[in-house]
């Protein structure tokens, strides 16, 4: 499986200025980061690194942040109520992708998934949509790897309400990233009982955090210093 460069090992970068890349197999990814953590810039950077390989990218930007416009085809990009239709389009393509996958990777990025589900859950009709989205995400997490179809979720705070606790869905991500200073509950929900030696001495901030890659130990992560505007320009060309 091809690899995705997430950034650099923060401990080496901060201690001796050595840039040691952190790679992960392309897979299901979840990223948590509050305002000012550099979450959106990080996602754009990962998309930029991902696009060096053949992929089809579906983007759901429910809150219409306009941070992801112009980097994928219009029919694979949705804001506000169009978000639901884009998720359905990805699911249809996912269901029609054979075992073993095709030439390209297929990624569904849902930005601020917690807000999207909360919005739909506020009405009776919307609740059915929220349940449908959860079922779709569950299917992708369970079966996506063999089809090279992956789910990327982004949120400000990790909440167990996204998936039923009994489903085990949250355990099927391959990459967990926490940016900035996480709350105690947020860190526990994202990384469970995992501990990183010396973590209490690190100064987490914008573009800095913790990453857990399936089968590896926790590591401190720092993103390259690159502006959001520059990455967008590279992706839109």
Question: How does residue 162 score in pLDDT terms, banded at 50, 70 and 90?
Answer: confident
Q: What is the pTM of this model?
A: 0.91
Question: How does residue 88 score in pLDDT terms, banded at 50, 70 and 90?
Answer: very high
Q: Which residues contact 66 (CB under 8 A, 6 or more apart)?
A: none
- Taking only the tens place, the pLDDT of each residue in 99-109 is 987 788 999 99
Q: Which uninterrupted H or E stretch holds 220? A: strand 219-222
178 closest CA partner among 23, 41, 38: 38
Count of other CB atoms within 10 angstroms of residue 37: 23
Burial class (CB in 10 A: 0-12, 13-18, 19+), 182: buried
- Taking only the tens place, the pLDDT of each residue in 128-137 is 999 999 999 9
What's the whole-number mean pLDDT along residues 141-147? 94
């Amino acid at each position: 499986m091809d690899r995705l460069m997430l950034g650099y090992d923060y401990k080496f970068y901060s201690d001796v200025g050595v840039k040691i890349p952190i790679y992960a197999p392309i897979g299901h990814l979840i990223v948590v980061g509050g305002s000012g953590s550099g979450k959106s810039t990080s996602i754009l950077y990962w998309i930029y690194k991902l696009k060096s390989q053949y992929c089809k990218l579906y983007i759901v930007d429910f809150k219409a942040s306009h941070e992801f416009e112009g980097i994928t085809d219009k029919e694979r990009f949705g804001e506000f109520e169009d978000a639901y239709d884009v998720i359905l389009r990805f699911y249809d393509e996912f269901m029609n992708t054979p075992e073993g996958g095709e030439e390209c990777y297929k990624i569904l990025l849902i930005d601020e998934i917690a807000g999207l589900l909360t919005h739909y859950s506020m009405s009776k009709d919307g609740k059915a949509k929220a349940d449908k989205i959860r079922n779709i995400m569950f299917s992708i997490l369970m079966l996506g790897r063999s089809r090279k179809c992956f789910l990327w979720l982004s949120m400000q705070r990790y909440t167990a309400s996204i998936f039923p606790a009994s489903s085990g869905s949250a355990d099927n991500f391959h990459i967990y990233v926490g940016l900035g200073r996480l709350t105690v509950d947020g860190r526990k929900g994202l990384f469970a009982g995992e501990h990183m030696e010396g973590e209490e001495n690190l100064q987490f901030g914008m573009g800095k955090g913790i990453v857990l890659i399936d089968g590896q130990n926790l590591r401190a992560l720092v993103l390259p210093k690159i502006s959001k505007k520059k990455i967008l320009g590279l992706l839109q060309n």
